[in-house]
């Protein structure tokens, strides 16, 4: 039996000192047919371990409907890691942050009346315990002391930045151990004294999350944990992007230097991210620290392995550093080849927003009240008679709303810009299309409601009698012809063989794109992201179809596929 344990100064693999050199891959951000390739490429950089979060809301978006197959086949992912001779670290949360919608917590959970998020509140504990038991059914038999490859399991995630409920942490530990987890248990926090103290328990091994000043951070960790291995379990080697900002990058040489300092100190490390992947569909999260900032579709993260799975300058810089401390494979992956370049004419199939169908209620229903997990809801209300322009005021819009009077667009309201009022002309019917742009994944706004929140007034008087109609993107169709304004656009193209593609979205406004029914994600003609990654397994030899659901107006009804990704302007 192989053993993995915590020694006086090191991790011990079969009783001998062992330095963990790990990198993060999120199985839920990578097409399953690419899992093996990404693991193999990470191994080529010199890693001996792969780490992943577990996204609860990917496995159980609807309460009681647990899924661990296909994209959610955590067991297969761990087995593929083992086949490459690598160890695995599992971080099941339940909260993961990760710039992933709702921080990984299911909407049905966070919208439960009276629930206490991330604390020892009975409803939350009951649901989390059931979730963890399901995860550990997959993880427990794959632990290293049972012939598998899992060497560490993390309890919660950066909890010291959020709370200090020790009873909650103790309950997570109890459930974990009762489920048969015998490998060492860890916590992670930024190396600030109050976070380290609040976010762990004496029996859990502290690790840090940071991306610079490695020597100082390790010293802080050691002050709070006098024995055991030092570990940075989130070495931030890049950063994420949000709509309306730049494309964030870090200098490969500077990141490599900080990695060198860590490894030279004998510390273990998990590189976050070694390969970021993609927020396919509408899985992106958001941050709100006074301004709402939804995360873009790409999760490239400026990682050593780029969004389409190829090595970057940072990959080679890290590989050179790792080679000083551990053996690295001789095989070096090839750089990214140019993707096929071509254009596809898109036929305009007209307006695609479905008619109002929902029941009438006094106030607008939220997405949660509708049990709707999609990004769009249509709201309608009859207007009272009034003459001349009038002010319509919303308590709050979450997150972006297109306002129409008698079918004619009259304006847009953005949560990010704190907009909640506009002037409308006289008419008989007010229609508001609302987009959930991404659920906040950090701090106290976890689980907040989406849609039109609170009251809506016209010239100070409440508007009542609303219908709220959820829109299922999988079933919408064009209702005529034309590509002007909000429109359903479709085109077809042939490929000699399946291939990674990069779809240029700069000629369009805002919306969603699909290839062969595969939901690529959101696009927007604001900065920074200009292309969407199309994974090769979503394409096929022969005929392929692209569908674009445009929310505003596509300047050019053409789909352009380009040779390389364009993720936006860098900070100068």
Q: Which sequence positions are flagged as catalytic? A: 158, 234
Any idea which fold 360-470 has?
Jelly Rolls (2.60.120)
Look at residues 551, 554, 453, 563 and name the one whose alpha carbon lies nearest to residue 499. 563
Q: If we measure between CA atoms, which residue out of 336, 422, 444, 553 comes closest to residue 117?
A: 444
Query: Domain 342-350+477-562 sits in which CATH superfamily?
Result: Galactose-binding domain-like (2.60.120.260)
CB contact burial 371-399 (16+ within 10 A = b; e otherwise) = ebbbbbbbbbbebeeeeeebebebebbbb
Contacts (Cβ under 8 Å, ≥6 apart) of 116: 123, 124
Alpha carbon 336 to its chain centroid, in Å, reads 24
CB 4 within 8 A of CB 145: yes
SS3 percent helix, strand, coil of the chain, rounded to 5, is 20, 30, 45
Q: What is the pLDDT of residues 311-366, one digit of tens each?
A: 999 999 999 999 999 999 999 999 999 999 999 999 999 999 999 998 899 999 99
Is the CB of residue 166 less than 8 Å from the CB of residue 201?
yes
SS (H, E, C) 95-139: CCCCCEHHHHCCHHHHCCCCCCCCCCCHHHHHHHHHHHHHHHHHH
* CATH architecture of structural domain 4-322: Alpha-Beta Barrel (3.20)
Task: Return the closest-CA partner of residue 279 out of 236, 305, 246, 241.
Answer: 241
Q: pLDDT by residue (tens digit) across 447-463?
A: 999 999 999 999 999 99
Query: pTM to 2 decimals?
Result: 0.98
Task: Tell me the Cα Rg of the chain.
Answer: 25
**pLDDT 10s digits, 171-195:** 999 999 999 999 999 999 999 999 9
Question: What residue ranges do the domains of the chain occupy?
Answer: 4-322, 342-350+477-562, 360-470
* Same fold flag, 4-322 and 342-350+477-562: no
What's the token pair of residue 218?
């390790």
Q: What is the pLDDT of residue 572?
A: 60
Tens-place pLDDT, residues 209-259: 999 999 999 999 999 999 999 999 999 999 999 999 999 999 999 999 999
Report pLDDT digits (tens) over 353-411.
999 998 899 999 999 999 999 999 999 999 999 988 999 999 999 999 999 999 999 99
The distance between the two most distant Cα atoms of the chain, rounded to a whole number of Å, is 83
Beta strands at 11-13 and 16-18: parallel, antiparallel or unpaired: antiparallel
Which tokens sit at 441? 């994944």
The pLDDT tens digits of the residues spanning 75-87 come to: 999 999 999 999 9
């Amino acid at each position: 039996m192989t053993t993995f344990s915590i020694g006086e100064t090191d991790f011990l693999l079969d009783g001998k000192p062992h330095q963990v050199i790990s990198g993060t891959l999120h199985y839920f951000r990578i097409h399953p047919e690419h899992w093996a390739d990404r693991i193999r490429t990470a191994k080529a950089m010199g890693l001996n371990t792969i780490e992943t979060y577990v996204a609860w809301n990917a496995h159980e978006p609807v309460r009681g409907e647990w899924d661990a197959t296909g994209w959610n086949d955590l067991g297969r992912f761990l087995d593929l890691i083992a086949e490459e001779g690598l160890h695995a670290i599992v971080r099941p949360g339940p909260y993961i942050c990760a710039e992933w919608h709702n921080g990984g917590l299911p909407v049905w959970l966070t919208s439960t009346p009276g629930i206490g998020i991330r604390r020892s509140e009975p409803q939350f504990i009951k649901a989390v315990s059931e979730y963890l038991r399901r995860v550990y059914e997959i993880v427990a038999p794959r632990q290293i002391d049972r012939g598998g490859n899992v060497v560490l399991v993390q309890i919660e995630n950066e909890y010291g930045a959020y709370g200090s409920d020790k009873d909650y942490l103790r309950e997570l530990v109890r459930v974990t151990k009762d489920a048969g987890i015998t490998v060492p248990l860890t916590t992670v926090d930024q190396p600030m004294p109050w976070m380290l103290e609040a976010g762990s328990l004496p029996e859990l091994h502290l690790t840090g999350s940071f991306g610079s000043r490695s020597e100082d951070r390790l010293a802080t960790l050691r002050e709070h944990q006098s024995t055991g291995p030092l570990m940075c379990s989130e070495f931030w080697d890049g950063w994420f992007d949000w709509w309306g900002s730049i494309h964030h990058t870090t200098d490969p040489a500077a990141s490599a230097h900080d990695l060198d300092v860590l490894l030279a100190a004998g510390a273990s490390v998990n590189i976050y991210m070694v390969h970021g992947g993609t927020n396919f569909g509408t899985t992106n999260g958001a941050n709100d620290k006074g301004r709402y900032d939804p995360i873009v579709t790409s999760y490239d993260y400026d990682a050593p392995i780029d969004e389409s799975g190829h090595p970057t300058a940072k990959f080679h810089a890290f590989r050179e550093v790792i080679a000083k401390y551990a053996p690295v494979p001789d095989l070096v992956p090839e750089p990214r080849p140019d993707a096929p370049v071509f254009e596809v004419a898109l036929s305009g199939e007209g307006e695609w927003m479905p008619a109002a169908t929902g029941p009438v209620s006094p106030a607008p229903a939220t997405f949660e009240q509708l049990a709707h997990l999609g990004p769009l809801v249509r709201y309608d209300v009859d207007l009272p008679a009034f003459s001349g322009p009038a002010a319509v005021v919303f308590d709050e819009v979450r997150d972006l709303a297109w306002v129409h009077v008698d079918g004619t667009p009259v304006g847009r309201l953005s949560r990010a810009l704190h907009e909640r009022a506009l002037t409308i002309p006289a008419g008989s019917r007010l229609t508001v299309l609302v987009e959930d742009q991404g659920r906040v994944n950090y701090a106290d706004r976890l689980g907040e409601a989406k849609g039109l929140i609170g009251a809506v007034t016209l010239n100070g008087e409440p508007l009542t009698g609303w219908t709220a109609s959820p829109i299922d993107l999988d079933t919408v169709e064009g209702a005529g012809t034309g590509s002007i304004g909000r429109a359903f656009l479709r085109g077809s193209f042939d490929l000699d063989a399946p291939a990674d593609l990069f779809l240029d979205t700069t000629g369009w406004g805002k919306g969603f794109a699909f290839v062969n029914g595969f939901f690529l994600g959101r696009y927007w003609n604001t900065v920074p992201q200009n292309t969407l990654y199309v994974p090769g397994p979503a394409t096929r030899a022969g005929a392929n179809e692209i569908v674009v659901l445009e929310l505003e107006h596509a300047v050019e009804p053409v789909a352009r596929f380009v040779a390389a990704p364009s993720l936006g302007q860098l900070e100068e």
